[in-house]
Amino acid sequence: MPEPTASAIAVPSDDPKKKKTEETEEKDKDKKEGSSKLKDGEKEGEDMSEEDIQLKNELEMLVERLKEPNTDLHRPALETLRTLIRTSTSSMTSVPKPLKFLRPHYPDLQTLYETWPPSEDKSLFADILSVLAMTYSDTQPRGTLRYRLLSASLVPASSPLSEPGSWGHEYVRHLAAELGEEYSSRVEDEGDTPEEAAEKEKEKEKVADGDKEKDGEEKKEKPVVKVVIEASNEELQALGMQCAVFLLAHNAEPDAVDLLEELEIVDRIAELVDENTYARVCAYMIRCVNLLPPPDDISFLRAAHTIYVQHSKFPEALGLSIRLGDPDLIRQDFNAPGNPLMKRQLAFLLARAQVPIEWLQPPSENADGDADITFQDDLPEDLLECLSNSKLSVHFKEFGKEVGVADAKSLEDVYKSHLENTRAGATANVDSARANLAGTFVNAFVNAGFGNDKLMVEAEEGNSWIYKNKDHGMMSAAASLGLSLLWDTDVGLSHVDKYTYSSEEHIKAGALFATGLLNTGVRTEADAALALLGDYVDNKSVPLKTSAIMGLGLAYAGSHREDLLPLLLQHVADDSVSMEIASLSALAIGFVFVGSGSGDVAGTILQTLMEREDKYLDEKWARFMVLGLAFLYLGLQDGSDATIETLKTIEHPISKQAQILVETCSFAGTGNVLRIQAMLHHCDEHVQNDKEKEKEKEENKDDKDKEEKKDEPKIDDTFQAFAVLGIALIAMGEDIGAEMSMRQFNHLMHYGDPIIRKTVPLALGLVSASNPVLPVLDTLSKYSHDNDLAVALNAIFAMGLVGAGTNNARLAQMLRQLAGYYYKEPDCLFMVRIAQGLVHMGKGTIGLNPFFSDRNIMSRPAVAGLLATLTAFTDAKAFVLDKYHWMLYFLVTAMYPRFLITLNEELLSVPVTVRVGQAVDVVGQAGKPRTISGFQTHQTPVRLGTTERAELATEEFIPFAHVLEGFVVLQKNPGWEKEDKMEV
């Protein structure tokens, strides 16, 4: 290869002397680095202008000067070299000329450098070699870093070393890359034992010796590796900080964050940012969190939190504290601002996240109940009102009027059965009790929160919808009052009260459950739910007992109320009560203490799982007990390790279900890839095939044995259902992971066992709750016609979840077609009706998506509600289609209005012009790009979809919140009117 090129170089030469020097140089170059750089030489000969030739000769003369023994000439020569290199780095597209011409001399200069005595001149020489080393990064890795550090070590204390940025952006990027490589290679080597390290050294030497034989010039390779190690990690980190300062000043915030992350000092970025860069740095760091492995994700959140606190960005800081789930940080952030309006805004944010009010209380020495009461009295009335969500109902009803959906909808308005293409007379087959039961739920979900539906709230005495249902249907019908009067604690209780005196047990039970439902997410001074339901927890009647227990669980979801423990824990620990009551008590405690990691509760549930006999743990209810345990660790990541280890000691198959649930809940919404892979491993076991093999072995034995063998593996494969849901649970917090999980679900649907196939639609529903994207809708539509009715049923319910509260017309049409398709299948038809109710939830104003604040913060009670409902669907025949259809009401903790309401200083609604459009991710983009696309302009209050974002259309008001969503407190912009007049 080199010969023809060499001849090509010789052709255009015009100066015979120069030809010789060039040829020898080219040959030397070939020796040094093979033919990789010949193209430069080719060009050099072809089109070198006079300026280039002059520059080349000047550089060669300077190099010769450095080789002379007279040391007085060295300093000026180095200064000139430095000036030439610095002034020529203007072109972005090509290699700077001085670097190109000095490249052949680099090995000679290296040899020369070693011969100089330590001095300031030698430091400058090392600095220049550090820049030249960029051209040799392929054959001598980390040369730039090596000479930079040598230069720093030689410079006298009186004259500081030039900043890395003085050599330009490319040099800093090069240096940053080498810093990262060096640091990570050290971290890898640190774990080695001395023997392993010695072996690695030997291998390196062997390689180096081999290179030496091949290539005479590689003598310098060995010392490079050894010298770099001399600098301490602290020196590397200090140099990294210098580079980061330069990168932050030149709009390369992501590069700066990445460099500090590689050097494990990302927490020190707070020292470097200023008011111009902090917003971009934090935005980038927060976007990285989902892609980082623990514990880096937590350190990123903490670092961003520190920066926001430094710059007094309280809502952003509080949002990160809520994500971290750290009571101390939340308390500090809440108490930090002095402005009462800002405090109200923070209170709204805490109320939305359902953070326990007790967390805001300063920790006292004597932990008694009185301190708690006085603390709540100390809070100003207006703050307590914001924190306890007590005005949510009033604002929601006003919002309904503004948007024009205040009037109650009838069932026919939702079903639109005149559009269904069923054959005439075909409806006679429908089980009317089933149809009425479906009507109960549809009415409850569609009119939720408005408190004016015709069937229940406004029905005349004795003509209530309750009496159109039988037995257990009556319970759900009475409970639907709670949904209809959601959040309205005053009016709601008076409506429900009359049913608590009913002689019919089921109606009374429903009324108790309704009391719990309507208090969900709202805190009141009266504590009505506890007062009314506390007495029934020990009632002899099972329906009354279970509704009181679950009512308390939902009413106080996420509140971490210690005073509920004695009421509920006794049933978990009591061996004499049925598994149903024990499991529902565990679930209720799970709801109340969601994400608390409470040791008392976990210990009690674990003890019960260990002590209960196998026949009890085989029951269908056991899954709710382990779910209650899993809720305690929701979002705690590694906090559940000890519990998982304890669960491994339980010999019953339930142990595997529990391990999976606890692990997936701990990492809910984190997008942790390794955990998702672990769940996929659980899904690839074919439990059923093993069962068939066992059957063949057992054929000779008697029938009874055969029966037992049949049952055992059947229970054993429930864990796969939770593994599938687990994939969705972990992936749902982050868009890329959620999209990738779709593909996995597709594979599971093709190759999985029946238990996996019927859970996949539920997982799809969880991944995009209240976010009807087309690919998911089409997939679910396909599954809803599956031959296996269990799959179809779950797919129909998942369609309801995906479209919950969106009024999606395409989805409504699909469900109408399904109603016609399944007119002879009462179970599926029942599910279609419920899905229709979910799609029109709150007449299109209430969503189920557990993420809020620009989909950054995950509401733990909401995730718990969704997961509990889906767990009931892992065996729909045994729960929702049996007597326990009231489990659909578990969704209530996830139900929240999708609105933006702007409030003035007095917390009264004030109409403002806003633009609403699809949210666009602008992290890391240059300048100030638009954050929404395809927007429309509206007056507040306005409804926001799951993936939508709002921004104020004018600068008349200054919002206190960083994300316009939910309740936003505004303040008049004092400089607004003056600008207006100037325009005129």
* Average pLDDT for the chain: 84
- Domains: count for the chain: 4
Question: CA angle, corner 629, sides to 627 and 631, nearest 5?
Answer: 70
881 pLDDT above the threshold of 80 = yes
Amino acid in the structure at residue 501: Y
Read off the pTM.
Answer: 0.86
Q: What is the DSSP string of 433-455?
A: HHHHHHHHHHHHHHTTTT---TT
* 172 occurs within a structural domain: no
Average pLDDT over residues 121-128: 88
Question: Can you give the pLDDT at residue 555?
Answer: 93
507 pLDDT above the threshold of 50 = yes
Question: Can you give the pLDDT at residue 46?
Answer: 56
610 pLDDT above the threshold of 70 = yes
540 pLDDT above the threshold of 70 = yes
Average pLDDT over residues 56-74: 86
* 852 occurs within a structural domain: yes
Q: What is the pLDDT of residues 157-173, one digit of tens each?
A: 777 777 888 888 888 99
Residue with tokens 């330069």: 246
Are 859 and 931 within one domain? no
Q: Cβ(733)–Cβ(291) under 8 Å?
A: no
Average pLDDT over residues 887-912: 94
- Residue at which a domain ends, from 606, 639, 667: 667
Confidence of residue 198 (pLDDT cuts 50, 70, 90): low
Are 789 and 916 within one domain? no
* 85 occurs within a structural domain: no
Average pLDDT over residues 778-785: 95
Residues 6+ apart with CB under 8 A from 507: 466, 474, 475, 477, 478, 499
Are 870 and 913 within one domain? no
Question: Can you give the pLDDT at residue 3?
Answer: 43
Amino acid in the structure at residue 864: A
User: d(Cα 970, Cα 949) in Å, to the nearest integer?
Assistant: 17
Q: What is the DSSP string of 408-437?
A: PPPHHHHH-GGGS-PPTTGGGGS-HHHHHH
Helices (H), 803-841: 809-821, 826-839
Residue with tokens 């395409």: 810
Question: Can you give the pLDDT at residue 967?
Answer: 94
* 875 occurs within a structural domain: yes
- Give the Cβ contact number of residue 510 at 10 Å: 33
Confidence of residue 980 (pLDDT cuts 50, 70, 90): very low
* 237 occurs within a structural domain: no
207 pLDDT above the threshold of 70 = no
Which of 264, 279, 355 lies closest to 317 in space, CA to CA? 279
Q: At 973, which helix (H) or strand (E)?
A: none
Domain around 959: 899-972
Of 111-125, 191-205, 350-364, 748-762, give the lowest mean pLDDT range: 191-205
Are 620 and 724 within one domain? no
Are 917 and 843 within one domain? no
Find the CATH number of the domain harbouring 508: 1.25.10
HSE-up (13 A, CA, CB side) for residue 346? 27
Q: What is the pLDDT of residues 723-764, one digit of tens each?
A: 999 999 999 988 888 999 999 999 999 988 999 999 999 999
User: d(Cα 902, Cα 589) in Å, to the nearest integer?
Assistant: 36
Are 460 and 518 within one domain? yes
Confidence of residue 205 (pLDDT cuts 50, 70, 90): low
- Residue at which a domain ends, from 556, 584, 599: 556
Residues 6+ apart with CB under 8 A from 329: 305, 321
Percent of the chain at pLDDT above 70? 84
* 494 occurs within a structural domain: yes
- Residue at which a domain ends, from 897, 928, 953: 897
370 pLDDT above the threshold of 80 = no
Question: Can you give the pLDDT at residue 708?
Answer: 38
Percent of the chain at pLDDT above 90? 46
- The Cα-based distances of 636 to 325, 640, 665, 670, 756 in angstroms read 8, 7, 8, 10, 27
Average pLDDT over residues 321-337: 93
Are 579 and 470 within one domain? no
Which of 859, 653, 751 lies closest to 760 in space, CA to CA? 751
Instruction: State the sign of the Cα–Cα–Cα–Cα dihedral 507, 511, 516, 522.
Output: positive
Question: Can you give the pLDDT at residue 120?
Answer: 86
Longest dimension (CA), the chain: 117
Are 775 and 870 within one domain? yes
Confidence of residue 342 (pLDDT cuts 50, 70, 90): very high
Average pLDDT over residues 497-523: 90
* 280 occurs within a structural domain: no
Confidence of residue 151 (pLDDT cuts 50, 70, 90): confident
Q: What is the pLDDT of residues 426-452, one digit of tens each?
A: 554 455 888 889 999 999 999 998 988
Q: What is the pLDDT of residues 831-842, one digit of tens each?
A: 999 999 999 999
Are 475 and 402 within one domain? yes
Which of 946, 983, 978 lies closest to 965 in space, CA to CA? 946
Q: Cβ(690)–Cβ(631) under 8 Å?
A: no
Question: Can you give the pLDDT at residue 958?
Answer: 93
What stretches of 236-347 adopt beta strand conformation (E)?
A: none
Are 567 and 661 within one domain? yes
Are 460 and 536 within one domain? yes
User: d(Cα 302, Cα 304) in Å, to the nearest integer?
Assistant: 5
* 217 occurs within a structural domain: no
Question: Can you give the pLDDT at residue 161?
Answer: 75
Are 950 and 881 within one domain? no
